[in-house]
Structure 1
């Protein structure tokens, strides 16, 4: 059992006891990998790439892969105060005891957090300072296509697709470890693997302006080529994914249906660095969907792609997926749909179970500027799609725009305002309930795109354009969101910079920059202060325009796109000329396709698909009797005390779906299971008897269902008994104003035990007649003689146990904070106190009544 401070936000994210976590013995010779994500648990657990690599690595019996996330600031402070190193979730192993630590680079503003995580894990941050006893530090992901800002800190970068190369890396490092090969020789071996960039083997000379003037790679190779997997159907994809114990940002099962994009929007880095476009077969997608939902219990699935509407059989895929999951009420979402690919039939299919969100990305406010970025939609298509969505019953549409695009003029900003206003008027005309949200971000010319030669607009220009839009779009039912201007500015600095940024990043980490991607954690003043320690023109050199023949910092990486092609696209953009999407089959337009090696656009092969349609279950028994119920008595103990009530409810519902419990659902656009829980258990408290009642569509065997549910619940949630019955309209839970609790105080010696027992006896003897309980800035008087009774005091070698009866308490006063406050007044530390609810009492203290203790 783990001891976590209840003072931190969401302590359950530090447990590591999720459903589907692989269990492995730490055999001698096991190669140990920590997959690290430089952001919080709920963000990292949404990332599909991390799930893929975690599954692949743990599929090998000689490899044990674990996860590490950035603790929130409160937990980080606690760890520092108590001298605790950053450790893995699964086995709580400190980061410096792994063979390899692999970071996923999703966002440039996470770079200082990455360095802080290395420091917290007691790993030297600079690669040159690591020795034979230190882990290998690798990194991959989309930001790795410009690895140079982190070149001083990362031993090797993975460029491109990682499914196969991750095992090649593990085998290389394991072999070198077992053979006793030194770090330099091991780096040489790594560099021989396709798609691996070792910064130490590339000499990059920089001029006084902070820009590279010469690049020399080992063996005369200037750039490292991106690793490209040709066939998605030949790659493994996880179905038994770890189910987060707290709700993740994207809390759903996700299937990647395609990689890459056909459209060629000039601003979109992902559309270039993931070429060519490759689809996963529709039959394979449906198989993964079925297995993934069975293994997780999610109620929502997402089909992932940069442009899901380009998928060859998207309509048929959506239709079959929705129909197969009607009975289990699983909703299907397509998060990346182009306006021109969204049909009324698709909208109807998406809303069959429950409405998921709709986002439309016009990107620019005028047709001229959309042509500049090669965004292949016009205003009529945008407005027609918005109208179709609202008329189908949705009440919110989100619109995405960018400011600062190349050639942008004032009339383009005015066009943005006008387009949003038209969408808002249409929405409100259809229904006064309808709302429009416009999200406005700042364009950053990313590496390996046609706009890499462009400069980025200044901080002053960003603020000026944001303020204009804010003034013009003040209307009821219309929300405007934008990124912090300083965040966008520094993201531009990091995404377009080179090796001179290394020392700047190190200083930021030293001075406390952490989780800067979060608006409430970003300190623009700190970034500005640290930047003033350096030559600002060098630090921000990437923000200025580049000459046609300039050497970019990211020229050390070859993503497969020819430089001449990107330049031609840039010239077409300046002429506002739209380029066609990628054609079917191989072509030589951009240079990435190679028919001889099989690297080409790959479409899903059309195959006959069994529809396997299941109609929704009846919501009431056919003979007219009331719906059946399953009453479950359970306990919440141990690590589960850190799981909040809503996350506990979520865990039960996911377990019920995996156990195939035939739950009844509510009607309407957002059907929800008909489930009732007894009163919420406060965070940090345990309970030996709680109740949940499921309303069912069909009878079940309670004994078998109890066994099935217990298989799929997280550690600490345990079903004690299950009973079938019928739903009574007036039936409710007993509510107890007085309950009995067991308080356990951890002690280290007899002296400490005596202090706890002495304090308990003083409280029992009426040492406090009345106390003032702090609550939301007020002090609530609590008369202890009427609400607190200590029934038993016992001492054990490591614990002192109290049995107390508490209640009825004034509104807002909770038993656990009250007990902690009383013992803190006795100058005792109560961090490790456990409080376990052991039953409710139907009458107030002093009156005869019936208890409901643990059975």
Structure 2
């Protein structure tokens, strides 16, 4: 890794070593899975489905699941240059060493990244060109039209993955033991419900149009039925989730409270593919949350669902979570809410949460258009929710809309502007409040009532966006939008047939990769690929006739085509359909599923779905005393300690902020009674010594903390040590005098070891050392906040000494300023970038020098505890 990571930004995402990582010996298992998310680490580690499959597979003693993420372009460039194939984070194994490579199909614009990762693994892109293992499979939300990626996948999982992934693992295990051929193994997979093997199916075209798709061999079903788990078993979810060592997009516990949505929004693909609704009980969720918080040290729990506010026992759940975690300074958050469900009780429960922003999604600007798309929100409900949010302390309300819905007119666009005007009045009324407005072009998706409709052209989208940009203004309004070209490409990939495979491959060859990031997306790749293959965007975007065969007709979610067609006609008639959970069954096709059977039984018996009566109007107000940690209320006496610790190989590529977060969460996991900061975002009060640059190891790291009386320093060390990752080792801990200077104030000397790869130093480098020390000024350009600053670093160089292993360098620290090790390396090796990047640097010591006397920061500590009232 030393040949790769010194050359890249954010190297911490490539080292694994997370808290709760699963470690097995690859040789001790029968089946190895590489779970691959086709985006970078900080995005992929935030995806809900990833840890579920990781947990389920690793519960099998004979299987091992490891994780793989897309590298950033700088890392990919170094990997290709050094000929290092894509590797896993658990064992750093090449993907070719695995039995199964499983890709998450989260989003159509991930498709070229999937091809890039297959190539980076050193495997042929197309299934027909691969032999033996590993098998390349896919699963996720966008596989309900699998045809655009059919040429590249050996098998595709349809629907919920929790049970089918175990069936696949067992089939692979059996195939390996029986020495089945690749084709025989795939045939075994094709017989598993919910598994589609594209090479066993042949699409048929007539007059350049898709006509049908059918099996081309016996033993496989004509239609592939998606898997649906009947209930969300507690065993699906890990008691000990992974804790990333770097900050991720959603850096918190994600608690899946329900799956599926029965609201019936006609534009929503997720509302169909995740049906039926399955809820977990508040008791089960609180128990999981307790275990997760204890095992991770996270300070935030997010309640995750397609529609969190439709969880029928939300008030009860939030009350239970609030009662359980407030004293531990753990906050409860939730994604976007429905305005009609944002009640005073929900708002009160969230009072202790950071009020950075609340997201509401009206989706359309006029009531007529909301009726067309079957969005139940009214303007009055939206304005009531915004007024409540501002009144309860939220500073920002985020509103999400789409443009280009079927039947949309200029009056509907004007309605959006008018509605925002009313929201702006509320922001002015509450003073200092802001509105973030996000607008995206509507993209018709498979298995929705709008799967047949035409998608707006780029010109139409540009015209509508121009109108909105002109009319949505104001200092308290931020307007953002999704580009029309992005929507155009996504729309083609969403509803295309197997002829799009060469388009995706060609776009990747031209440079398409990581297209979920706006800075990397370029629609010209697809325009050129389409032209070279005699296809046009409008071939897909123009839509379909309702009686026309669709490329995904062989995929059976269980929701009937008749139901979707009827819903489409209701939309054209502006006819709303109520939520089936609170009205009556609409016969979508899933009536035989367990969750639906139970719902229908309750409806017929007149047993309404609602929360227990004692929680319907539960008061979420807590006294100030209740919100304080129990230790705070019993004894406010604190004592201080200083920890001396070692930072080794495994954590040398973490940043200073990464180490800070790691210690905060380790302290929470250890249950140490430390002092916290005040406010809505409390953190343990910690004070570190001079920060260590990324890439360095150290035997001289120090940390100060304050904790409540009742713990001894030896107990602190014994409780904290097991919670630290590999590579962080506590050397010693002592009580600290409350009057002792801080680490930042007292540490003024450091010693570094520069370990040169050759173990010797050339004669001309000796001359350079003498030259450096002879100068009174050594000016360098230091970049800081997008500007450069000239700094004389010579006063911070105390001594340079040649050793048999390299160089020993002693530096000064004055008022928090010093010379950085990368700056020293640039002075030592001005013309050798490789040596600047790969020279191993170790901080051997940190001192406090006063009046010619040198002491370590630990020497300033005392043997006995000193108490202080706070």
**Correspondence for 1:794 among 800, 803, 807:** 803
Measured in 1, the distance between the counterparts of 2:743 and 2:234 equals 53
Distance 1:694 1:740, change over 3 A: closer
SS of residue matched to 1:465: helix
- Superposed displacement of residue 589, structure 1: 1.3
**Corresponding residue for residue 561 of structure 1:** 559
Aligned residues of 2:635 and 2:708 also touching (Cα < 8 A): no
**Corresponding residue for residue 401 of structure 1:** 401
**Corresponding residue for residue 318 of structure 1:** 318
- Superposed displacement of residue 302, structure 1: 1.1
Distance 1:173 1:157, change over 3 A: same
- Superposed displacement of residue 531, structure 1: 2.7
Q: Which consecutive unaligned segments of at least 5 residues does structure 1 have?
A: none
Measured in 2, the distance between the counterparts of 1:447 and 1:234 equals 31
Aligned residues of 2:829 and 2:835 also touching (Cα < 8 A): yes
**Corresponding residue for residue 451 of structure 2:** 452
Residue 832 in 1 paired to residue 844 in 2? no
Size of the aligned set, in residue pairs, is 839
SS of residue matched to 2:837: coil
**Corresponding residue for residue 528 of structure 1:** 527
**Correspondence for 1:780 among 757, 767, 790:** 790
Measured in 2, the distance between the counterparts of 1:591 and 1:772 equals 74
Residue 743 in 1 paired to residue 747 in 2? no
SS of residue matched to 1:830: helix
Distance 1:217 1:466, change over 3 A: farther
Measured in 2, the distance between the counterparts of 1:809 and 1:203 equals 73
**Correspondence for 1:699 among 699, 703, 710:** 710
Measured in 1, the distance between the counterparts of 2:49 and 2:146 equals 18
**Corresponding residue for residue 269 of structure 2:** 269
SS of residue matched to 2:690: coil
Aligned residues of 2:507 and 2:529 also touching (Cα < 8 A): yes
- Superposed displacement of residue 525, structure 1: 2.8
Which sits farther off after the overlay, 13-22 or 707-716?
Answer: 707-716
Residue 805 in 1 paired to residue 803 in 2? no
Which sits farther off after the overlay, 444-453 or 707-716?
Answer: 707-716
SS of residue matched to 1:151: helix
- Superposed displacement of residue 286, structure 1: 1.0
Q: Per-residue CA shift, 1:487-537, capped at 9, x if unaligned?
A: 111011101111001011111222221101100111223333333222233
**Corresponding residue for residue 642 of structure 1:** 653
**Correspondence for 1:651 among 623, 646, 662:** 662
**Corresponding residue for residue 503 of structure 1:** 502
**Correspondence for 2:688 among 671, 677, 683:** 677
Measured in 2, the distance between the counterparts of 1:14 and 1:262 equals 40
Aligned residues of 1:101 and 1:137 also touching (Cα < 8 A): yes
Alignment of 1:59-70 (within 5 A): 59-70=59-70
**Corresponding residue for residue 476 of structure 2:** 477
Q: Per-residue CA shift, 1:760-800, capped at 9, x if unaligned?
A: 4531354873544232365735364x4424454222xxxx2
**Corresponding residue for residue 548 of structure 1:** 546
Distance 1:659 1:411, change over 3 A: same
Aligned residues of 1:277 and 1:600 also touching (Cα < 8 A): no
- Superposed displacement of residue 601, structure 1: 4.6
Residue 708 in 1 paired to residue 713 in 2? no
Measured in 1, the distance between the counterparts of 2:513 and 2:36 equals 15
Measured in 1, the distance between the counterparts of 2:156 and 2:718 equals 46
Distance 1:332 1:364, change over 3 A: same
Distance 1:457 1:814, change over 3 A: farther
Which sits farther off after the overlay, 662-671 or 645-654?
Answer: 662-671
Measured in 1, the distance between the counterparts of 2:576 and 2:438 equals 24
**Correspondence for 2:765 among 755, 759, 764:** 759
- Superposed displacement of residue 645, structure 1: 1.4
SS of residue matched to 2:743: coil
Distance 1:364 1:760, change over 3 A: farther
SS of residue matched to 1:144: helix
Distance 1:768 1:505, change over 3 A: farther
Residue 848 in 1 paired to residue 859 in 2? no
Aligned residues of 1:350 and 1:356 also touching (Cα < 8 A): no
Aligned residues of 2:7 and 2:837 also touching (Cα < 8 A): no
- Superposed displacement of residue 842, structure 1: 4.4
**Corresponding residue for residue 603 of structure 2:** none
Distance 1:598 1:668, change over 3 A: closer
Alignment of 1:654-669 (within 5 A): 654-669=665-680
SS of residue matched to 1:436: strand
- Superposed displacement of residue 86, structure 1: 0.6
- Superposed displacement of residue 428, structure 1: 2.1
Distance 1:288 1:756, change over 3 A: farther
**Corresponding residue for residue 723 of structure 1:** 734
Q: Per-residue CA shift, 1:582-628, capped at 9, x if unaligned?
A: 13699461011206897665979979999999752267686775x33
Alignment of 1:364-403 (within 5 A): 364-403=364-403
Distance 1:218 1:403, change over 3 A: farther
Measured in 2, the distance between the counterparts of 1:284 and 1:760 equals 67
Question: How high is the TM-score relative to the length of structure 2?
Answer: 0.91
Which sits farther off after the overlay, 53-62 or 824-833?
Answer: 824-833
Distance 1:552 1:768, change over 3 A: farther
Alignment of 1:57-206 (within 5 A): 57-132=57-132, 134-206=133-205
Distance 1:311 1:3, change over 3 A: same
Aligned residues of 1:155 and 1:199 also touching (Cα < 8 A): yes
Measured in 2, the distance between the counterparts of 1:850 and 1:761 equals 30
Distance 1:624 1:115, change over 3 A: closer
SS of residue matched to 1:515: coil
Residue 616 in 1 paired to residue 628 in 2? yes
Measured in 1, the distance between the counterparts of 2:733 and 2:661 equals 19
Question: How high is the TM-score relative to the length of structure 1?
Answer: 0.93
SS of residue matched to 1:19: coil
Distance 1:571 1:586, change over 3 A: closer
Aligned residues of 1:459 and 1:489 also touching (Cα < 8 A): yes
Measured in 1, the distance between the counterparts of 2:115 and 2:752 equals 44
Q: Per-residue CA shift, 1:429-483, capped at 9, x if unaligned?
A: 212x211101111110110000001011011111221121112112102101111
Aligned residues of 2:773 and 2:799 also touching (Cα < 8 A): no
- Superposed displacement of residue 77, structure 1: 0.7
**Corresponding residue for residue 435 of structure 1:** 434
Which sits farther off after the overlay, 403-412 or 707-716?
Answer: 707-716
**Correspondence for 2:820 among 811, 815, 829:** 815
- Superposed displacement of residue 638, structure 1: 1.8
Which sits farther off after the overlay, 210-219 or 44-53?
Answer: 210-219
Q: Per-residue CA shift, 1:790-819, capped at 9, x if unaligned?
A: 454222xxxx23211123589987421222
**Corresponding residue for residue 592 of structure 1:** 590
